[in-house]
Amino acid sequence: MNRMTTRLTPDKELSRHLLAMLAAGAGTIALASCGGGSAADTPKVAGSSQGVGTVLEPPSPSSVLTIEVAEYGFRTSGSIPAGMTMVQMKNLGQEDHQVQFLRLNDGVTLPQVQAAFQLGERATATLTTLTTLVGGPGTAAGDTSAAMMDLKAGQYLLACFIPGRDGIPHAAKGMVLPLQVTAATAPALPAPTTQGMVVMKEFSYALSVSALPAGRNMLAVVNEGMQPHEFGLLRLAPGKSAADVTGYFAATPTGPPSFAAAGGLTALSPGQRGIAALDLTPGNYAAICFLPDPASGKEHLQLGMIAGLTVA
Ligand SMILES: [Cu+2]
């Protein structure tokens, strides 16, 4: 995000699902090739990173996993060792994308998770039973995003739940990829120094800081709630506030949104934590969560899960 995108997403359906989304739309997912990763690991783009902002350098020492993302797939290595890992995402595509890490729970197989995507309205509940959401990066087209997670060994699935203009989540278009996290091969790396902390619960963010300096910021994000939550960061147009974002999603849009995705951390299951690695430019930002509340059927945003943040 060194070159923060100023492109504003012209479509409400695209922009409202900037980072998250194990939402209702996920019910339409029909995974074609979850296990093979044949098409999923070769995004249909030129293999160049040209035009994408430089990824944030990891704190040293650090293990790094680079993931190139485009319509509709991920390109990365199929296996990494366990431990504190900086995940650097390059969005080479034309749409917003995310790399949601799902760790399969003990005894769960990839085919089981594959089947869960096809359960219609029960998909979300089943997926959150079979897997643990452990975060990941995500951001707008042409941008980069980074996140750090302490990855435990196990079978993972990378997925993008952001829907296209047709409302179909990218995962249904092949944007899923298995990732094996093998036993650690080196002594554990220390957790990086962070500049602040974000505590998520129903339905709020508690930020240890209300303002951040421009430039590199590492924010620890922890889910102390009972439901999955995400820390999706939006960069707001000058003069706009979090209330404008709330208002935008509360009514039928009459124009393009006054904000754009600016990184953050994708969804965490209860009790999970991760680090959003941010490279910020001065301005107003908002943290926002689009995950669905099972009881009300509303998105967490609609239940008040949004918070303003100033970068000076
Ligand atoms: Cu939430």
What is the Å distance from ligand 1's center to 301 Cα? 7
Distance 172 CA to ligand 1 centre (A): 23
Give residue-wise pLDDT tens across range 118-165: 676 677 788 899 999 999 999 999 999 999 999 999 999 999 988 888
User: Does 196-311 match 12-182 at the fold level?
Assistant: yes
* pLDDT at position 289 over 90: yes
Average pLDDT over residues 100-124: 85
CA gap 2, 62 in Å, rounded: 20
State residue 21's pLDDT score.
36
Output the pLDDT for position 11: 37
CATH architecture of 196-311: Sandwich (2.60)
The Å distance, Cα 270 to ligand 1 centre, comes to: 10
The CATH classification of domain 12-182, taken from the options 3.40.50.150, 1.10.150.170, 3.40.1160.10, 2.60.40.420: 2.60.40.420
pLDDT tens digits, residue range 181-197?
A: 999 988 888 888 999 99
State the pLDDT confidence band at 60, using cuts at 50, 70 and 90.
low
Q: What is the mean pLDDT of residues 48-68?
A: 69
Using CA atoms, how far residue 293 sits from 108, 213, 227, in Å, is 25, 33, 8
Cα(243) to centroid of ligand 1, in Å? 17
pTM of the predicted structure, to 2 decimals:
0.82
The domain segmentation of the chain, as residue ranges, is 12-182, 196-311
Judge contact between 293 and 303, C-beta under 8 A.
yes
Q: pLDDT value at position 55?
A: 67
**Centroid of ligand 1 to alpha carbon of 267 (angstroms):** 8
Q: What is the whole-number distance in angstroms between the Cα of residue 103 and the centre of ligand 1? A: 19
